[in-house]
Amino acid sequence: MHSLHPVVPFRHFGRTVSLKSPRVHHTVPPALFSSNNGLTPPYTPPGWSTLTRPDGSVYFRYSGPPFTVVTDVDMTDAEVQAKMAQYIHTVVLALAANHTLLSDHIEAFFQFSLNHDFADDDLRYYFVDHRFRVVFWIDSVDTRALGLPPESSELHLRSVFEKLYWYHVTRFPSHDPAGFDPAVDALTDALAFGFADQRLGPRGSSDIDFPYTVEEIMDTLKMLKTLDGRSIRSSIRDNID
């Protein structure tokens, strides 16, 4: 029986996961990567694709059905492929038992080990909702089991889940999921607030210390202004030269 273990982004297996791949020199064999080297490149199963992060590391994405999955496990390995198919089936059964339907803007993260780092039938997982920018799980789970601090209200907890969502997007940045919105307008509004707060005094007009200087805010707003296809709601951004 496979066990499903809820986790949160960047907290898999109880430790922080490094995204950085070491850069080393290589000895390049003759005709490497060409049709003349006689080697068969590794393939992923149907529906799966290999994606490269900006740091050079790779991850794998399944475009469904029954739902989209991203993972760091090596989907070119036959044993991993078989295990992944079993886990997807297990999650489908769990969703059906809970009468849960997933829309096309939902994405799952799956992680497991074949090296007995933990029980062989344990799946570490979470779901993200790209439309509402939150993480969630199939069953009820205590925040202590997720390693999250206590929060004073559900509203605060929602902000934590959105922060975790952006961790996920940062970790898996090289595809364009359905329903994804980079929230440029919301970021612009927050930066405009910080700009005004910083200009009103050393500590600003509020009790919140905004973590960026006026110069850093202006540089970021200039960058946001260059993004195509995004509305510009803030007059402060319109007036940047």
- Each of the 241 residues of the chain gets a pLDDT tens digit; together they read 568 888 888 644 333 344 455 677 878 777 776 766 555 557 788 899 999 998 889 999 999 788 999 999 999 999 999 999 999 999 999 999 988 888 889 999 999 987 655 445 689 999 999 988 899 999 899 999 998 888 888 888 998 898 899 889 889 988 888 777 767 777 777 777 777 777 765 544 444 456 678 888 888 888 777 764 444 333 333 444 4
Q: Measure the CA–CA gap between 70 and 174, rounded to whole angstroms.
A: 11
* Residue 32 in domain: no
* Residue 79 in domain: yes
Residue 129: the pLDDT is 93
* Residue 61 in domain: yes
59 and 110 fall within a common domain: yes
62 and 107 fall within a common domain: yes
162 and 193 fall within a common domain: no
207 and 166 fall within a common domain: no
197, 191, 193: which is closest to 224 by C-alpha?
191
Question: Which residue, 140, 171, 202, sits at the end of a domain?
Answer: 171
141 and 226 fall within a common domain: no
Beta-ladder partners of 241: none
Phi, psi of 58 (to 5 degrees): -120, 160
Question: Which residue, 119, 142, 171, sits at the end of a domain?
Answer: 171
53 and 105 fall within a common domain: yes
* Residue 142 in domain: yes
Q: Which domain holds residue 99?
A: 3-19+38-171
Residue 215: the pLDDT is 84
130 and 209 fall within a common domain: no
117 and 142 fall within a common domain: yes
Question: Which residue, 144, 171, 198, sits at the end of a domain?
Answer: 171
Contact yes or no for 122/82 (Cβ under 8 A): no
Residue 36: the pLDDT is 61
* Residue 45 in domain: yes
124, 126, 220, 227: which is closest to 168 by C-alpha?
126
- Total of domains in the chain: 2
153 and 202 fall within a common domain: no
93 and 190 fall within a common domain: no
232 and 129 fall within a common domain: no
Q: Measure the CA–CA gap between 81 and 44, rounded to whole angstroms.
A: 8
CA angle centred on 198, ends 196 and 201, rounded to 5°: 110
Residue 135: the pLDDT is 94
* Residue 31 in domain: no
* Residue 26 in domain: no
* Residue 69 in domain: yes
- What amino acid occupies position 210? F
95 and 199 fall within a common domain: no
Q: Measure the CA–CA gap between 81 and 19, rounded to whole angstroms.
A: 23
